[in-house]
Homo-oligomer: A and B are copies of this chain.
Amino acid sequence: MAIKDKRQLIIEAATESFSLFGYKATTMDQVARLANVGKGTIYTFFENKEELFNEIVNTLISEMKRVAESTLDSDKRFFEQTNHVLYKILEFRKQHQLTIKLFQEGRDMGTPEVIGFMQRFEHTIIAYIKELLQKAIDKGEIKQCDPELTAFVMLKLYKSLIFDWELSRDPLEKEEIIRLFDLYFFEGLSI
């Protein structure tokens, strides 16, 4: 059993526990027990609880980026790409157990470490959309606009449609959301 294995064991145990109970409710004792290692061992691989957490969520964010990139298809029009990417990302967030749990914890308890993760998560998305926008502007596919601000607004709009709207009314279908995104953002409402 090489060193890598123990480290991996700890990461897997911690991921399991963070997914089930969140950041605060996961104890280092619990992680040690789940990973079948002594508690001290964890501290030979990770500085502290927060570092262990960051290692895990960084992996998560990388995975998300990978998902986003895998949906790219430069044959498609810009708006279709953006749409797809945003949809995949928020689907990802909605389906991934760890992401669900952490976003819950951040909203309901405001755990600082978790809030930090949420910000990095969103920042990554915005940075990514920003790049797509910049390319589209350079190619002359869309109008001139502030890419950062536009990416920010796009994400907000998407989140509104997917998360906020269904708090008080019937949730929207995937096709519906794509259609709306196109209508509001690319075509515009004017005749």
Q: What is A's interface to B at a CB cutoff of 8 Å?
A: 79, 140-143, 145, 148-150, 152-153, 156-157, 160-161, 164-165, 169, 180, 183-191
Contact B165 A157 (CB under 8 A): no
Bound: A11/B157 CA distance, A: 39
On whether the beta carbons of B191 and A143 are closer than 8 Å, the reply is yes
Contact B189 A145 (CB under 8 A): yes
In the assembled complex, how far is the CB of residue A139 from the closest CB belonging to chain B, in whole angstroms?
Answer: 10
Given the complex, which residues of B lie within 8 Å of A141, measured CB to CB?
Answer: 191
Across the interface, which residues of B come within 8 angstroms of A156, CB to CB? Answer: 156-157, 160, 164
Give min CB distance, A181 to chain B, whole Å. 10
CB contacts (< 8 Å) of A150 on chain B: these are: 184, 189
Q: B186 to A189, Cβ gap below 8 A?
A: yes
Taking CB atoms, residues of chain B closer than 8 Å to A153 are: 157, 160-161, 180, 184
Identify the closest chain B residue to A77 (Cβ): B190
Question: Could you say which residues of chain B place their CB within 8 Å of the CB of A152?
Answer: 160, 164-165
Q: Which residues from chain B contact A148 at a C-beta distance below 8 Å?
A: 169
